[in-house]
């Protein structure tokens, strides 16, 4: 397939599973996270699967506006990674707090990471995809974009916003060959999933299965256009 990917949240959970899964079909992969050592470890793992894939590491804290601007600057400077075919916005924070304990700082941090940074990255790369009339943007949402549980008011608000963003990008860019797809899983077996309260972790979704479904969606030869996908677990406990 020989595609170029940029994946945020590549160092853990769904982002990591997807990164490993597409290693065999990728030409270049840009992996983004806060911790260089985790990114280096992942780079090694990718090259074990496919020694021909070129892996680029970008360290950026996307909960800060300066972090996302740094990422864009790095992309602008590196001519080798100008053309991204598939963007995955997976990095996010899941804050568990009662409404009375939510601060403006909490709101700013999570809105920046879960909504504003994905918007800025999608704008930058989405417009480049528009020019070459081809591209996919995966926005990793959540069941919290539709239903909310207690003590997740910030997360729930950000994922509702991300759904709106994802649809807006699809509306504006689909006629130019760019697909913006909202992936909305229920609780998954990842470090973030460990923070979900009062539910049986053993019943959670395997993130690899979600990653496999995303990989299938890369095939653009179909007559269907997928805009959003809700993924539920079989057993809810
Ligand atoms: N797990 C669930 O139950 C669940 C359910 C539905 C939807 N989701 C969604 O699925 C996506 C992936 O979640 P996951 O479960 O795979 O989470 P995870 O395993 O906890 O991974 C989170 C990823 O986000 C990155 N990240 C966190 N804060 C960051 C920051 N400030 N700047 C840059 N990167 C940051 C982390 O990288 P570093 O720590 O290396 O920086 C890590 O790679 C998220 O959008 C989440 O909302 C998760």
Convert the pLDDT of each residue in 17-28 to its tens digit.
999 999 999 999
Average pLDDT over residues 159-172: 98
User: 202, exposed or middle or buried, with CB in 10 Å at 0-12, 13-18, 19+?
Assistant: exposed
> Which of 14, 106, 109 gets mutated to test ligand 1 (max ligand atoms within 8 A of its CB)?
14
Average pLDDT over the chain reads: 97
* Span from the CA of 14 to the centroid of ligand 1 (angstroms): 8
Taking the CA of residue 16 as reference, the ligand 1 atom at the shortest distance is 43
Regarding the beta carbon of 62 and ligand 1, being less than 6 Å apart is answered: yes
At 27 the pLDDT is 97
Task: Give which of 7, 18, 8, 6 is closest to 188, Cα–Cα.
Answer: 18
47 CA distance to ligand 1 middle (Å): 23
How many angstroms does the Cα of residue 13 sit away from the middle of ligand 1?
7
Q: What is the pLDDT of residue 1?
A: 72
Q: How far is CA 148 from CA 144, 145, 185, 189, in A?
A: 5, 8, 13, 19
In tens, the pLDDT along 67-105 reads 999 999 999 999 999 899 999 999 999 999 999 999 999
pLDDT digits (tens, 9 = 90+) for 147-156: 999 999 999 9
pLDDT the model gives residue 163: 99
User: What is the Å distance from ligand 1's center to 76 Cα?
Assistant: 25
Ligand 1 atom closest to the Cα of residue 61 is 32
Give the fold, CATH level 3, of 3-231: Rossmann fold (3.40.50)
Q: How far is CA 2 from CA 23, 25, 29, 84, 121, in A?
A: 10, 6, 10, 11, 22
- Higher pLDDT residue, 115 or 236? 115
Q: How sure is the predictor about 220, in pLDDT bands with cuts at 50, 70 and 90?
A: confident
Among 12, 68, 183, the mutation site with the greatest number of ligand 1 atoms within 8 A of its Cβ is: 12
Cα 212 from Cα 198, distance rounded (Å) = 28
- Does residue 163 line the site of ligand 1, with CB under 6 A? no
Q: If you measure from the C-alpha of residue 113 to the centroid of ligand 1, how many angstroms do you get, rounded to a whole number?
A: 10
Q: Residue ranges of the domains in the chain?
A: 3-231
pLDDT at 82: 87
At residue 112 the predicted structure's pLDDT band, cuts being 50, 70 and 90, is very high
Given a cut of 90, is residue 145 above it in pLDDT? yes
Rounded to an integer, what distance in angstroms lies between the CA atom of residue 171 and that of residue 188?
Answer: 29
Q: Is 185 in the pocket of ligand 1 (CB under 6 A)?
A: yes
% of the chain beyond a pLDDT of 90: 96
Ligand 1: residue whose CA is nearest its atom 8: 142
């Amino acid at each position: 397939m020989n595609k170029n990917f940029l994946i945020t949240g590549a160092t853990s959970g769904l982002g990591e599973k997807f990164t490993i899964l597409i290693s065999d079909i990728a030409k270049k992969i840009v992996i983004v996270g806060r911790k260089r050592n985790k990114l280096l470890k992942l780079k090694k793992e990718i090259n074990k699967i496919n020694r021909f894939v070129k892996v680029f590491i970008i360290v950026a804290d996307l909960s800060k506006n300066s972090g996302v601007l740094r990422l864009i600057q790095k992309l602008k400077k590196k001519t080798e990674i100008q053309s991204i075919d598939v963007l995955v916005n997976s990095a996010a924070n899941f804050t568990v707090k009662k409404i009375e304990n939510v601060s403006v700082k909490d709101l700013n941090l999570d809105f920046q990471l879960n909504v504003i940074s994905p918007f800025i990255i999608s704008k930058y790369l989405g417009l480049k995809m528009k020019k070459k009339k081809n591209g996919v943007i995966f926005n990793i949402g959540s069941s919290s974009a539709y239903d909310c549980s207690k003590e997740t008011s910030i997360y729930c608000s950000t994922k509702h916003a991300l759904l709106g963003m994802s649809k807006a990008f699809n509306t504006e860019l689909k006629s130019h060959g760019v697909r913006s797809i909202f992936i909305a899983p229920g609780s998954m077996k990842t470090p973030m999933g460990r923070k979900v309260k009062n539910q049986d972790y053993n019943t959670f979704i395997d993130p690899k299965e979600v990653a496999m479904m995303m990989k299938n969606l890369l095939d653009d030869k179909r007559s269907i256009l997928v805009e959003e996908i809700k993924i539920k677990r079989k057993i809810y406990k």
